[in-house]
Structure 1
Amino acid sequence: MFEDANKFVEYKDLRWSGILKSIKKSANIFQPLFEGFTNSLEAIRLRQRNNVEFAPYINIILNFNASLGGNRVTLADITIEDNGIGFDNKNFDRLSIYKDDTKGFNNRGSGRIQMIHSFQYVNFDSIYWDGTRTMKRKFALSKTNPFLRKNTILYKTEEPSPADGEEVKTTVKMAHPIEAKDAKIYAELGCEDIKKALFNHYLLAFCNIKSSFPSINIIYFVGGIEKDRERIAADEIPEPTQKDITISVPVCKMSEDMKRVENVENTSVSINVLPYKISSSILPASAIKITSKNEISETTKIKLTCIDPNASLNGYRYLFLLKSDYFDALDSDERGNIEIIDKTDFKKIAKAQGYIDEQIVLNDIQDGVNNKAREIYQEISIQNEHFHEKIEQLKRDYLLSEEALADVSLCDSVDEVFKKAYAYDAKIMAKESASYENSIQNLNNLDPSSDDYQGKLSNIVDQLVESLPIQNRATLSKYVARRKMVIELMDKILKRMLVCQDATERNVDEKLLHNLIFKQHSDNPLTSDLWVINEEYMYFKGSSESMLSKVKLNDERIFRDDFDEEEQRYLTSLGENRERMRTDVLLFPSEGKCVIIEFKNPNVNLADCLLQISKYAYFLRNFTKPEYKFLTFYGYLIGESLEKRDVRAADGDFKTAPNLDYLFRPMKTVPDDSGSNIDGSLYMEVIQFSVLKERAELRNKAFIDRLMDNATESDNIGERV
């Protein structure tokens, strides 16, 4: 096929084997297609510049190998046809020079390499006008061994010859995919997928040429038979909301001491911002995109912070395309590979190298575009206001600092907001802790008998005190955030707002509340949220949802194994098995004391359950080993359905707590029938979950007031929470 050695266009001043290694194959499977399509768009524009009347078109033909059943198996070749200017002598000469950039459109001539990185052969058949008549020429590109042995990628298949009567047209056929996986991936894509990829990649280019839009067709052939066809029409191309919006981005440099990023005086880059409001059915996510040579670049990511990219506002999303000569000049051999760094990397590179070229940075572009977006679209501005109101609420409720939230954006979830805030605080605390440790070490150098002792000691103390508010606020904010979430979750359970409460016909409210406060079948109160009931209870030993007869304290079972005949009779009388009784929560504050907590479904009348804790206390008093001697019991019956008169009707010893909405019974005898004749006593409260929630909120506030050292700061926080 390529047998005539004289037809290879050999290069004298470069080595193609080295060039091909230095320019890597693009990770984007569509890149060869984009290169050919870009050439077709440019060829059409060049022909239009000559004021030639013609109906421009681009046909993309994908030819697939067929299975026995006639289905697509693998891609055989891609053909791109256009009636642009064609490869006349001037354009062909450019092709034979590596990195020729005289074509215009800011091209470097390296796009051909992406084609031969993906396909074994790229065959060109071009009919063009040479000024007096139509001519045709054929040539091929490849990086196969016959080409590289001749130090070339270009082969003249046919020298130029007359083509009288034929229409100007160029056909580029990319044949035989080099990697089998590429051929298979293409076979899995439909015409719609190719259309979508072109539409998304060339949106700006399409917008620019909408008034003279070419006919663009995507055609699928399977086994030589046309199977599908799609068309990109001019009326599908959106219009920008405005076309005259620009931002001015300062050029940056490093300060002479290499500590700061500074703006170069009176030097900036002008960037044209083209804003689009596009149906969310077409645009999957709002975004800011840099463009180069009228193509979208995906290598530099600019955050859209003024709106959640995934949000759809009234059925629309937003695209902001950025166009500038500055971007075109940055474009690399891998077309669309534009690198713009942020200020952090700018400083790192400058310090590592000792210098850095003056350039614009990502942060300034990002701020400029997001500010413009809020000006252009009122709905985005409103979303921003709501977001900032939410952030202000989080600051108040969780004592988050302004500095810690400087980097949050509308695309951040509430969890991400907290993560950023706490990550910032952690860095500050680490720095202050190091300062604290240094101050402690400085104590070694103090001499109490020296004249300046008091002054030096005061300086060290001042340094220590300075760091404490930061550490206290960081510690407190985490404490408050964790506990506030527990309180809010309890409120949602009581109001039946959780998805899991609607997902089952069975009422699981009691289980949810139980697990919220102290996870069932757990024996580590320290990991619980028993502080909702009493702050101290988290530090006691105990268990949740345990069978009484199997409860352990210090890894020893507290219940006896030996029972006399009467005890054995009682344990199984009336058809019951009292050894299997279970307590919701059992805690052991100290020797001889026990806390019993029972949770009830919010729908259950608590007055009907008053005896349950007394029975558990009786069991603990009479059937535990003598060394434990449980004599003092504290019981909590917790639910939501509470009628005080029902409770007092059932047991007149219960009293209403003054100024607090719960009932308590100061003392109830727990009889001893085990032979020791030493009765125990039970203090008991009947209380609602909602009252516990109110108590917890007050406890949070009291904790904040107690923790903060500065009285004034403490008062302010107390007012906010």
Structure 2
Amino acid sequence: MQELITPPDWSREKIVADVAHDYGVSEEMLSHSKTRVNFGDTPIEVAKRALTNLQVKVVDETSSLMAMRDAIKNLEPDSDDFRRKIDDLSWEYAASLKTIDMANLSQLVVRRANLIDVLDMAVNEGLSVQSSLPDGKRRRNEALIHNIFFPMRKDSDEVSDHDVWLLSEEYHYYDYIASDKPLSQIKWDGGQNLFDADIDEEVSKMLAKISDENSAGRPDIALFHEEGSVVIVEFKSPGVSLDEHVGDLTEYATMLAAKSNGRLKKFYGYLIGDTVNPIRLQGYNKLPGANGFFNTSDIKEPTSQVAIGQLYSELIFYKDVVDRSRKRIDVYRERLKLPKN
């Protein structure tokens, strides 16, 4: 009966390859979890068995790790077999960590790969939700892209599940991240307000002069580090030319520096979109190996022209963000011996 319902072109090699590509379960993981590929199996059946087996091993080996802690506590350094026991426990500990690390890393790779695909489709207006937006579609596209990186109108005190790693892995671990939140609510060391109380009003006035669309009065995403550095991220809808908004980053950085009472001095600004007119860019250089541009400039107090900080800014394309993210994922895929996209 099995032979009658099995496709004639069934191949174990193809099933193993599909399981690795679609579900992040490599052949090494199949072997480690003692998962057999039976004749007639589909990729989803094999993946389910492998992940179930891995979960059981993770639970068993987590219990084993806890038992090892007790074993370590009971070691006697002056006994003849002390060093042999240390060696044995070390090998056992390493083997247990391999299973846990393998399962967690596999899930991370698949999740991030899926998220990159969502971003790619959102940028190219390929999501189903984007086909049913008759009015204000351009602004809606920007909001969808924004939420992929970090939920709008939230901060890192409210949510820990975000994906600013798409921009840079190190930004994922900044001390505080605000996404379209009032700047006056941001706290610094000891719970003190980081900015002067009137900052939101002042930024709103500034942005109202730039564009009615930006009158909300705060950066799309702002990341703060206790050393006094800030990352400002501004998303632009597909079709909006980035050269029309290069001044936004400078104005943001100037306002944040002036209203932070000297706490913030180093600024990194990112303007992200898919269109730019290089002829209109002054003082920007081409990014090596990418389609974007970068610039470094002093931030000056508007009246006295005294330098109050420095801004490094990049104009980058969504395509490059997607490509960079995929390359970082490929590092994990290589470790798990998974095929690259």
Matches within 5 A, 1:301-450: 369=1, 371-374=2-5, 381=7, 385=10, 389=14, 392-396=17-21, 398-400=24-26, 401-402=29-30, 403=33, 421-450=50-79
What TM-score results when the alignment is normalised by the length of structure 1?
0.40
**Aligned partner (choices 175, 179, 193) of residue 544 of structure 1:** 179
Matches within 5 A, 1:669-688: 669-673=298-302, 677-688=306-317
Matches within 5 A, 1:65-144: none
Deviation at 1:514, TM superposition (A): 1.1
CA distance in 1 between partners of 2:305 and 2:193 (Å): 20
Deviation at 1:484, TM superposition (A): 0.8
Deviates more, 1:570-579 or 1:612-621: 570-579
- Match of residue 457 from structure 1: 86
- Match of residue 286 from structure 1: none
CA distance in 2 between partners of 1:530 and 1:520 (Å): 13
**Amino acid in the other structure paired with 2:219:** T
Q: Contact 1:404–1:422 at 8 Å: present in 2 too?
A: no
CA distance in 2 between partners of 1:544 and 1:536 (Å): 17
| Same amino acid, percent of matched pairs | 23
**Amino acid in the other structure paired with 2:59:** A
CA distance in 2 between partners of 1:509 and 1:404 (Å): 45
Spell out, residue by residue over 1:266-301, the C-alpha distance to the aligned partner (whole angstroms, 9 max, x if none): xxxxxxxxxxxxxxxxxxxxxxxxxxxxxxxxxxxx
- Match of residue 291 from structure 2: 661
Structure 1 residue 717 and structure 2 residue 341: aligned? Answer: no
- Match of residue 588 from structure 1: 224
2:196 alignment partner, SS class: coil
Q: Contact 2:257–2:265 at 8 Å: present in 1 too?
A: yes
Cα distance change of structure 1 residues 697 and 521 upon mapping to structure 2, 3 Å threshold:
same
The answer for unaligned runs of 5 or more in structure 1 is: 1-368, 375-379, 706-713
Cα distance change of structure 1 residues 629 and 657 upon mapping to structure 2, 3 Å threshold:
same
The structure with higher relative contact order (CA 8 Å, sep 6+) is: 2
Q: Contact 2:180–2:220 at 8 Å: present in 1 too?
A: yes
Deviation at 1:703, TM superposition (A): 4.4
The CA RMSD measured in Å over matched residues stands at 3.7
Cα distance change of structure 1 residues 453 and 558 upon mapping to structure 2, 3 Å threshold:
closer
Q: Contact 2:298–2:307 at 8 Å: present in 1 too?
A: no
Spell out, residue by residue over 1:681-714, the C-alpha distance to the aligned partner (whole angstroms, 9 max, x if none): 1101111111111111121233466xxxxxxxx4
Q: Contact 2:20–2:338 at 8 Å: present in 1 too?
A: no
Pairs aligned (count): 324
Q: Contact 1:587–1:596 at 8 Å: present in 2 too?
A: yes
Cα distance change of structure 1 residues 684 and 390 upon mapping to structure 2, 3 Å threshold:
farther
Matches within 5 A, 1:553-572: 553-554=187-188, 557-561=193-197
CA distance in 2 between partners of 1:615 and 1:393 (Å): 50
**Amino acid in the other structure paired with 2:289:** N
**Amino acid in the other structure paired with 1:655:** N
Q: Contact 1:527–1:538 at 8 Å: present in 2 too?
A: no
Q: Contact 1:526–1:539 at 8 Å: present in 2 too?
A: no
Deviation at 1:476, TM superposition (A): 0.6
Cα distance change of structure 1 residues 522 and 430 upon mapping to structure 2, 3 Å threshold:
same
- Match of residue 143 from structure 2: 511
Larger-gyration structure (1/2): 1
More strand by share: 1
Matches within 5 A, 1:9-408: 369=1, 371-374=2-5, 381=7, 385=10, 389=14, 392-396=17-21, 398-400=24-26, 401-402=29-30, 403=33
**Amino acid in the other structure paired with 2:25:** L
Deviation at 1:517, TM superposition (A): 1.1
Spell out, residue by residue over 1:471-516, the C-alpha distance to the aligned partner (whole angstroms, 9 max, x if none): 2211110111111110111122233322111122224322221111
Cα distance change of structure 1 residues 580 and 464 upon mapping to structure 2, 3 Å threshold:
closer
Structure 1 residue 480 and structure 2 residue 109: aligned? Answer: yes
CA distance in 1 between partners of 2:179 and 2:300 (Å): 25
CA distance in 2 between partners of 1:544 and 1:409 (Å): 51
Structure 1 residue 635 and structure 2 residue 255: aligned? Answer: no
Spell out, residue by residue over 1:82-133, the C-alpha distance to the aligned partner (whole angstroms, 9 max, x if none): xxxxxxxxxxxxxxxxxxxxxxxxxxxxxxxxxxxxxxxxxxxxxxxxxxxx
More helix by share: 2
**Amino acid in the other structure paired with 1:373:** L
**Amino acid in the other structure paired with 1:511:** A
CA distance in 2 between partners of 1:682 and 1:629 (Å): 15
What TM-score results when the alignment is normalised by the length of structure 2?
0.80
Cα distance change of structure 1 residues 718 and 452 upon mapping to structure 2, 3 Å threshold:
same
Cα distance change of structure 1 residues 460 and 614 upon mapping to structure 2, 3 Å threshold:
same
